[in-house]
Every structure is written in C-alpha cells, then in structure tokens.
Amino acid sequence: MPPRAAFILGLLLAAGLVAGGYVLGQSALDYREYERSVTVKGLSEREYPADVVIWPIRFTAADNDLTALYGSLEADATAVRDFLVKRGIPAAAITAAPPAVTDKLAQQYGGNERFEFGYVGVQAVTVYSDQVDTVRAAMVELVQLGKQGIALVGENYETQPEYLFTRLNEVKPAMIEEATREARAVAAKFAADSASTLGKIKQASQGQFSISGRDKNNEHIKKVRVVSTIEYYLSD
C-alpha cells in the first residue's frame, strides 16, 4: 500500500476509534444517569367492621352424682341456646361442644383435701355468625343467663369473642392503588426537591396485608394496613 494511502487509512481508523469511544462514553454516561433512582414507601390504612364473630359461652356445674351433673349441663346448654335464638341468632349458627367432666375425688392423690362436690363439668356453646351486630347485642344481655342460675365462666381467653374480617380480597385492589399513589406522591416531592425528573418504576414490592383490631376495646372494628415499596428512576 502506498505510504499516502496508509496514512489516510490510519487517520480514518483513529477518527473512528475516537468517535466510537465518544459514543460508548456517552452511552455509559446516559446509562449511569438513568440508573439514578429513589426508593419510597406508600401506606394505605383503612377501617372496616368485622363481618364474622365467633362467641364461645362457657358454663360450669357441679354435683356428687355424675348422672345429675350431665343432666344439669344439658339443661343449661338448652337454656343458653334458647336465650340466643330469642335474640335473633339463628339456631344453625349455634353449636354445643361435649362437656368436660372432672372427677375431683380421683384427683386427691391420697391428700386430705375434701371437695364439696365430687364432679365438676364445663361445657361451651359457641356462636359462629355473620350477624355481628345481633350477636353483640346479645352479649350485653348475657347477665340474664346468670340470673337463671347458670354459672358462666368468664374473663379468660377461652370466652373472649373473636372477630374476623373476611372481605380482604374485595378491598385489596383499591388499597394497593392508594398505596401506590401515596408512594408516587412522595417520590415526586423528592424529585422536585432534588431538581430531578421522576421516571418510570424500576421495581416494586407489595407488603403483606395486616388485619388487627382498632384497639383492645374495639376488636369488632378492624384496621387493614398495607405498605408498598417502590423504586423510581430519576433523571435531570
């Protein structure tokens, strides 16, 4: 190849390398700029009434005659069922568990302790209903059973009503949308404060939904909560 042609070819190759290096450098710069991001969290928190209640009513009886004891527990269970039905709770929502009977004499283990009654029985009648307001109204009148001579067992975890919220799938879409909207608002404020432009979502993760009572005295009101974590691109 003539020297002049070789010289021109060398210049062209050098220019090409310089141009290529510039393009690659600019692309890398653009990529790094595009990789700037901000991660924010968006909260959605709402209150809903519970739609299912589980209410166990426990009562006890004692006797020295085992047959008589079972008869007393059966009569009390019938009285509890009648009490609930008269207050608008469907019979189908009421179930009675088998009684648990303790033989006190068999538990003495040779000691000198003496019991007034040889047998003590405990039974539970449970309400499982979606008529939460009706059941709560009946709870207020539970004292009427005591006035009938039924020895109610109360103030322990086994007798506390349990409230459920079963419509989570119905409220999920709106709450996720709200959490996403809140997150974007936070990201937009950050972008504005940093003289940046908010871009598309880089990645997002939805937190788990949590359901809890509003407070210990209002377990029938459920607080539903979700936090979404979203990362947005930023650019100048």
Q: Give the whole-number percent of the chain exceeding pLDDT 90.
A: 73
- CA angle 217/162/71 to nearest 5° reads 115
Q: Residue 104: exposed, middle, or buried by beta-carbon count in 10 A (0-12, 13-18, 19+)?
A: middle
What pLDDT score does 212 carry? Answer: 96
The answer to whether residue 109 is domain-embedded is yes
| Structure-model confidence comparison of residues 119 and 19, the more confident one | 119
Task: Specify whether 119 is located in the same domain as 156.
Answer: yes
The answer to whether residue 13 is domain-embedded is no
Is 208:186 a contact under the CB 8 Å cutoff? Answer: no
Is 80:57 a contact under the CB 8 Å cutoff? Answer: yes
| Structure-model confidence comparison of residues 110 and 164, the more confident one | 164
Is the predicted pLDDT of residue 96 greater than 90, yes or no? yes
User: 55-73 burial, b if ≥16 CB within 10 A, otherwise e?
Assistant: bbbbbbbbbeeeeebbebb
**Amino acid at position 66, single letter:** L
Pairing relationship of beta strands 100-103 and 52-63 according to DSSP bridges? unpaired
Alpha carbon distance 94, 72 (integer Å):
19
pTM of the prediction?
A: 0.77
Structure tokens belonging to residue 15 = 């220019």
Q: Which domain holds residue 228?
A: 33-48+167-235
Task: Specify whether 202 is located in the same domain as 143.
Answer: no
Mean pLDDT across the stretch 117-145?
Answer: 95
| Structure-model confidence comparison of residues 116 and 153, the more confident one | 153
- CA angle 76/81/85 to nearest 5° reads 150
| Domain count within the chain | 2
Is 135:53 a contact under the CB 8 Å cutoff? Answer: yes
Alpha carbon distance 212, 222 (integer Å):
6
**Per-residue model confidence as pLDDT tens digits over 134-189:** 999 999 999 999 999 999 997 777 789 999 999 999 999 999 999 999 999 999 99
**Per-residue model confidence as pLDDT tens digits over 173-231:** 999 999 999 999 999 999 999 899 999 999 999 889 999 999 989 999 999 999 999 99
Alpha carbon distance 76, 146 (integer Å):
11
Q: In angstroms, how far is the first alpha carbon of the chain from the final one?
A: 50
Q: What are phi and psi of 61, to 5 degrees?
A: -150, 155
Structure tokens belonging to residue 162 = 């349990």
The answer to whether residue 6 is domain-embedded is no
**Per-residue model confidence as pLDDT tens digits over 5-54:** 544 544 445 444 444 444 333 433 344 455 789 999 999 999 999 999 99
Q: What is the CATH number of the domain that holds 89?
A: 3.30.70.2970
Listed residues 131, 164, 197: the one ending a domain: 164
